[in-house]
Structure 1
Amino acid sequence: MVLIVDDIQANIIALKKTLELHNIDVDTAESGEEALKKILKTDYCLIIMDVQMPGLDGFEVVKILSGNKRTKDIPVIFLSALNIEKKYIFKGYETGAVEYITKPVDSDLLILKVKTFIKLYEQQRELKATKDLLSKEIKIRKEAQDNLEIKIAERTKELVQKNEELELRNHELQQFSWVVSHDLNEPIRKIQIFIKIIKDLYLKADEKGVDYVDRTIKSAERMQTLITDLLAYSRLSSQVKPETTDLNIVLQEVLSDFDYLIERKNAVIKTTELPIVSSIPSQMRQVFQNLIGNALKFSGAVSEPKIEITSEIIAEKDFDSPVDSNGKFCRITVKDNGIGFDEIYLDRIFIIFQSLNDRQTYEGTGIGLAIAKKIIDKHNGLITAKSKPGEGASFIIILPSI
């Protein structure tokens, strides 16, 4: 809205009609005092003001507006028929006016200037609104960042404390597992010794008694294996520094341990060149022992169990990653032609104490694959399996390569 200030009613009417013809909203005031009152209550985008008026003249009104924070940016055009000398024009600009027009006025030029100043005022308002919005956004973000930094610091401190507590508890748990392992193994060993003595000395002629004793011995052996496996699982929590490991050497040591079982089952083992990785050798040995041991154990009724251990360098840490000789990961596959399993149970096989098979037929504790997964996870790797019942299984391992 434009405010016209003039003490002569006829001038106001003429100028108002000219502006309204161009769809410009207009308000009027007939004195400097009235103009100030209206300006303090209403936001105007432009003021067209006569210079010479009774009471407060135009110069005095503009000077007052210039000193007020709220009104100092409102553009003012002086319009005068009497004060047309240069000294008055200079004074008009010095007081803060944006234009000084002398009468008679070219209405087209006046309308052009009025529209220009209205547009500039609107742009300034938009810029100010944008600036205020940005300032508010910056303030909000700064507060959020400050709060986030405080929360991060608090959370970091909390995590450090929790980590220290966890390390202490892990240490205590390892000590406890060692003690429990010893304390449990000792009575089991004695049970095995005394049961065998009873069998040899007193039950040779009693077939039913011998059967009961053999069952007891097997149960004791299963308990001993369970304790050994639990101890191995608990040891995985300890911090051990990795070292450069040739997996070919590790694999050959494992196959050497299985020499007797491989020969007895008439198994065929095929291997390709395995990579060198950064690992804890004893733990990688456990992984191969569990996978190859399972392949031999679950060979089923096949006359010639076949186990293939292959490796390839791949581009990414992904089971389906393409082969890439310059890749930073290796994919190791242990494949057999045994009884296999249904993949709907894939999530279960890597959970401790989970077994998919009858433990009377296939002895085991259900810990081996859980140990393998925990070891691979600790080595920043992945492990999964693919299988179908009766068609064997393939265990796939992804590890960072050197």
Structure 2
Amino acid sequence: MILIVDDKYENLFSLKTLLQLYAYDTDTAASGEEALKKILKNEYSVIILDVQMPDMDGYEVAEAISGLNKTRDIPIIFLSAVNIDKRFIAKGYDSGGVDYITKPFDNDLLLMKVKTFHRLYTQRQELKQVEEALRREIEIRKKSQQEVEQINSLLEFKVEERTRDLLQLNKDLENRNAELAQYAYLASHDLQEPLRKIITFIKIIEEKYLKNIPEAKTEMSKVITSSERMRNLINALLSYSKLSAVSLFTPVNVNEVVKDALADLELTIKEKQALIDVTHLPEIEAIPGQMRQMFQNLLSNALKFSKTGVRPQINICHEAVNELSLEAAPDKNGKFIRIHITDNGIGLDESYIDKIFVIFQRLHGKAQYEGTGIGLAIVKKIVEKHNGIIGVKSREGEGSTFTIVLPVKQSNSTN
């Protein structure tokens, strides 16, 4: 809207009519005081201000308008029929005007200037709105950033707190596991001596007093068999508990380890006429005794669960891979060794695979196959202690393949 300020009604009427012909909204004021009151209440894009007015002239009105934050940006066009000297024009600019038109004026020139200043004012207001919107957006983003930083700080504190709690829990758990392992070792070790005496004296009784009593001798043989089974179970528990102890990783020739394990199983291999095929295996960082126990348990299982009347065949081969994976593609420069132990034994239903590595878990009856149910649990624990993984593929009646993936180099020297 455009404000016209003039103390003469005919001037107000003519200017208002001219501007309305070109679709400009207009307002009028007949004095400087009235103009200031309206300016404080309404928003104007241009002010056309007469210089010669009683009480308060145009210069004073312009100075008052320019001195207010709300109105200082409104363009003021001075109109004067009397004060046309250059010094009056200069005073108009000094008091805050943007243009000075003398009467009589050209209507087209006035309209052009009104249009220009109206457009500039409108653009300036739009720019202010954009700047205000940007300012609010920046404030919102700053506030959001502060909130995010506060949340992150709180999360970091919670994570640190939770990490400390978990570290303490892990430490407590390690201490308890060590205590349990020590207790299991001591308990199993202390059971060995009385059990040894029981077996010894039962055999003495059997040989000395039961030779001529077949029925009693048969029953006593059952006692000896149960006692031997108990001794095997205690030995297995001792082996399992020892795996929790800290051990040193050293370079291990896996070929020598497999050779030693096969030597321990020599009688069973000859008895079953088993064929064992072993490819050349690389050197890795490992715990020698545990590696030997791992291979011995796996080979013993392959021999134990062979098919009746079928010559056992066991193949041990390997390939290098570059990730800890049972399925990764071979890579001759890989940082891991993947070992496959394949047999042609009785196999098993793959739906039971998860159970075979659980301690005391047996899939076959004691009458069919002897064992403690700890062997494969020990194998899995040894593999995990070496930061590796183990898996098995099998089909009933066709055999099994156990696959072990181990790092060639251990990141820690002890475990």
Q: Which category describes the TM-score, using the shorter chain as reference length?
A: 0.7 to 0.9
Structure 2 residue corresponding to 1:367, chosen from 374, 379, 401:
374
1:305 is aligned to 312
Structure of greater Rg? 2
Structure 2 residue corresponding to 1:78, chosen from 72, 75, 78:
75
Alignment of 1:218-297 (within 5 A): 218-297=225-304
User: What letter matches 1:312 in structure 2?
Assistant: E
Distance 1:315 1:172, change over 3 A: closer
Structure 1 residue corresponding to 2:325, chosen from 298, 315, 318:
318
Q: Does the CA-based 8 Å contact 2:75-2:117 persist in structure 1? A: no
Alignment of 1:208-219 (within 5 A): 208-219=215-226
2:9 is aligned to none
Structure 2 residue corresponding to 1:346, chosen from 320, 335, 353:
353
Distance 1:264 1:127, change over 3 A: same
**Is residue 141 of structure 2 the alignment partner of residue 134 of structure 1?**
yes
Q: Does the CA-based 8 Å contact 2:19-2:111 persist in structure 1? A: no
2:131 is aligned to 124
For residue 76 of structure 1, give the secondary structure of its aligned residue in structure 2: coil
For residue 240 of structure 1, give the secondary structure of its aligned residue in structure 2: coil
User: What letter matches 2:236 in structure 1?
Assistant: D
Distance 1:6 1:306, change over 3 A: farther
Q: Does the CA-based 8 Å contact 2:66-2:72 persist in structure 1? A: no
1:177 is aligned to 184
Structure 2: give runs of 5+ residues left out of the alignment: 7-11, 81-87, 102-109, 410-415
Distance apart, 1:342 and its partner CA: 0.8
Q: Does the CA-based 8 Å contact 2:46-2:77 persist in structure 1? A: no
Distance apart, 1:190 and its partner CA: 1.9
Structure 1 residue corresponding to 2:120, chosen from 110, 113, 130:
113
Distance 1:134 1:209, change over 3 A: same
Q: Does the CA-based 8 Å contact 2:75-2:121 persist in structure 1? A: no
Structure 1 residue corresponding to 2:344, chosen from 330, 333, 337:
337
Aligned equivalents of 1:5, 1:378: Cα separation in 2: 90
Distance 1:273 1:50, change over 3 A: farther
For residue 339 of structure 2, give the secondary structure of its aligned residue in structure 1: strand
Aligned equivalents of 1:141, 1:254: Cα separation in 2: 60
Aligned equivalents of 1:230, 1:6: Cα separation in 2: 106
Q: Does the CA-based 8 Å contact 2:294-2:378 persist in structure 1? A: yes
Structure 1: give runs of 5+ residues left out of the alignment: 40-45, 66-70, 94-99
Distance 1:164 1:318, change over 3 A: closer
- Name whichever of 11-20 and 314-323 sits farther off: 11-20
Distance apart, 1:339 and its partner CA: 0.3
2:365 is aligned to 358
Aligned equivalents of 2:198, 2:94: Cα separation in 1: 117
Taking structure 2 as the reference length, what is the TM-score of the superposition?
Answer: 0.80
For residue 323 of structure 1, give the secondary structure of its aligned residue in structure 2: coil
Aligned equivalents of 1:343, 1:16: Cα separation in 2: 93
Residue-pair matches, total? 377
1:153 is aligned to 160
Structure 2 residue corresponding to 1:201, chosen from 208, 217, 222:
208
Q: Does the CA-based 8 Å contact 2:319-2:337 persist in structure 1? A: yes
Aligned equivalents of 2:243, 2:120: Cα separation in 1: 83
Aligned equivalents of 2:20, 2:111: Cα separation in 1: 14
Q: Does the CA-based 8 Å contact 1:32-1:58 persist in structure 2? A: no
Aligned equivalents of 2:269, 2:72: Cα separation in 1: 98
Distance apart, 1:241 and its partner CA: 2.7
Question: 1:117-147: CA deviations, max 9, x gaps?
Answer: 2442343233223312321221121011110
For residue 81 of structure 1, give the secondary structure of its aligned residue in structure 2: strand
Q: Does the CA-based 8 Å contact 2:92-2:100 persist in structure 1? A: no
Q: Does the CA-based 8 Å contact 2:192-2:231 persist in structure 1? A: yes
Q: Does the CA-based 8 Å contact 1:376-1:383 persist in structure 2? A: yes
User: Sequence identity, in percent?
Assistant: 38
Distance apart, 1:200 and its partner CA: 1.0
Aligned equivalents of 1:344, 1:205: Cα separation in 2: 50
For residue 77 of structure 1, give the secondary structure of its aligned residue in structure 2: coil
User: What letter matches 1:309 in structure 2?
Assistant: I
User: What letter matches 1:355 in structure 2?
Assistant: R
User: What letter matches 2:316 in structure 1?
Assistant: I
For residue 354 of structure 1, give the secondary structure of its aligned residue in structure 2: coil
User: What letter matches 1:76 in structure 2?
Assistant: D
Cα RMSD of the aligned pairs, angstroms, is 3.2
